[in-house]
């Protein structure tokens, strides 16, 4: 049975961007004979789901904006396990399905039925939830509806600017790897960002921390991230990308200004990673049940001496490796009480999209909710190609001049 055939696709595209999911839900509801179909989206904290769209409300009233706590609920299990679940109620069955694409868990599709669905209906619901993720991905470029659904607390101007610097999705699953980042902003935004991009042959990672707080830090971060993306998209080498960003910060940032950062480029065929360290804490490598700090000695932060070249360090990744980049908000100003290396081992069995929020929340708990600096993390799980997975698939971290 087709979920999004040509007629249903036409209905989605004929609707306004804010009503596209409603049109999808109406079509799906008719196909299943459902009492109601609703989309819940995850908020930026990762702690609640917010109801943003539906075909109808079986209770007969408007519940847009209603929230579900993700910490302990059937919805939480659906998001964590990425499996459909049926919840039997007095007069209906509530079916929950993960709305996810490339590992980005956007939310939960809820369908209310009279009876428990059979295998065909369950398959249809699972496929519909997956297709709905693509609808949301396309439509959220044109409306603030889904952005609104992610906000359960006021957002400052500095935080607004900072959020625009992050990737459109915090998670990406690909054949050779999975990438996930998370940012827990301080009450006074500290200018932390993470970024990633993947082309046919390479994966690019960047984690940066701009000096200062609030709007000034967010603007400085904008300058650095914009320059890094510009150099990356121009096909520049990693040292040249770093040097260009350093010049941009020196030429256009207020004096004095600097941005620390880790830049990486990973060859997807070999797992060989190039690393530039611009005055930043080194990455952590979780391998064979151990956590080690990767030996990548720092050069100067971006913007300090614009003409100083940057060195490239080389790391050979093995299948099963997890690499975690963290800003100093994860390591200093009381955050050290969280014991990050121990947490990295504890969260290793989790998918990166779950592990990274857990790390930042542990730091937040360690400082009793008073985060004095942004806490940002970026994780790479390296899987490698099948033929690259023998136990001796490379090991050492070597430094080379760039």
**In terms of Cα–Cα distance, which of 71, 82, 81 is closest to 43?**
71
Record the pTM.
0.89
From first to last of its 402 residues, the chain has per-residue pLDDT tens of: 455 567 778 888 999 998 999 999 988 898 889 999 999 888 877 778 888 777 654 444 445 567 877 777 788 889 888 999 999 998 899 999 999 999 999 999 999 999 999 998 999 999 999 999 999 999 999 999 888 877 778 889 999 999 999 999 999 999 899 999 999 888 778 899 999 999 999 999 999 999 998 999 999 999 999 999 999 999 999 999 999 999 999 999 988 899 999 999 999 999 999 999 999 999 999 999 999 999 999 999 999 998 899 999 999 999 999 999 999 888 876 667 778 999 999 999 999 999 999 999 888 888 887 778 888 999 999 998 744 433 333 223 333 333
Residues forming a β-bridge with 264: 205, 275
Q: What is the domain partition of the chain in residue ranges?
A: 6-149, 157-400
Cα torsion angle, 244, 245, 246, 248, sign: positive
Sheet strand arrangement including 375-382: 171-173, 177-184, 375-382, 322-326, 284-287, 290-293
Contact 323, 382 (CB under 8 A): yes
Topology of domain 6-149 in CATH is: Beta-Lactamase (3.30.450)
Q: Which class in CATH covers the domain with range 157-400?
A: alpha beta
């Amino acid at each position: 049975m087709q979920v999004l055939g040509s007629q249903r696709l036409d209905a989605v595209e004929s609707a306004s961007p804010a009503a596209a999911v409603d049109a999808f839900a109406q079509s799906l509801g008719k196909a299943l004979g459902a009492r109601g179909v609703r989309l819940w989206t995850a908020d930026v904290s990762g702690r609640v789901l917010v109801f943003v769209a539906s075909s109808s409300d079986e209770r007969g009233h408007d519940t847009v904006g209603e929230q579900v706590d993700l910490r302990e609920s059937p919805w939480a299990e659906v998001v964590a396990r990425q499996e459909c679940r049926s919840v039997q109620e007095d007069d209906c069955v509530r079916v929950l399905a993960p709305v996810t694409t490339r590992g980005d868990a956007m939310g939960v599709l809820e369908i209310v039925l009279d009876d428990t669905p059979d295998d065909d209906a369950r398959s249809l619901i699972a496929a519909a939830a997956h297709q709905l993720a693509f609808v949301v991905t396309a439509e959220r470029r044109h409306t603030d509806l889904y952005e609104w659904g992610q906000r359960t607390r006021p957002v400052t101007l500095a935080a607004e600017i900072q959020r625009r610097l992050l990737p459109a999705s915090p998670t990406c699953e690909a054949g050779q790897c999975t990438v996930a980042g998370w940012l827990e902003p301080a009450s006074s935004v500290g200018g932390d960002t993470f970024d990633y991009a993947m082309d046919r042959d390479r994966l690019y990672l960047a984690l940066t921390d701009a000096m200062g707080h609030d709007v000034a830090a967010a603007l400085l971060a904008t300058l650095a991230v914009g320059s890094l993306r510009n150099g990356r998209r121009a096909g520049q080498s990693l040292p040249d990308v770093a040097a260009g960003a350093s010049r941009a910060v020196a030429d256009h940032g207020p004096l004095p200004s600097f941005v620390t950062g880790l830049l990486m480029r990973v060859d997807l065929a070999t797992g060989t990673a190039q690393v530039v360290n611009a005055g930043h804490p080194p990455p952590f490598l979780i391998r064979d049940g151990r956590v080690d700090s990767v030996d990548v000695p720092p050069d100067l932060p971006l913007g300090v001496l614009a003409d100083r070249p940057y060195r490239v360090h080389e790391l050979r990744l093995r299948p099963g490796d997890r690499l975690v980049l963290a800003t100093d908000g994860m390591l200093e100003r009381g955050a050290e009480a969280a014991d990050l290396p121990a947490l990295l081992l504890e969260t290793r069995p989790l998918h990166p999209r779950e592990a990274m929020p857990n790390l930042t929340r542990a730091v937040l708990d360690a400082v009793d909710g008073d985060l004095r600096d942004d806490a940002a993390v970026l994780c790479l799980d390296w899987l490698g190609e099948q033929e690259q997975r023998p136990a001796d698939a490379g090991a050492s971290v070597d430094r080379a001049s760039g």
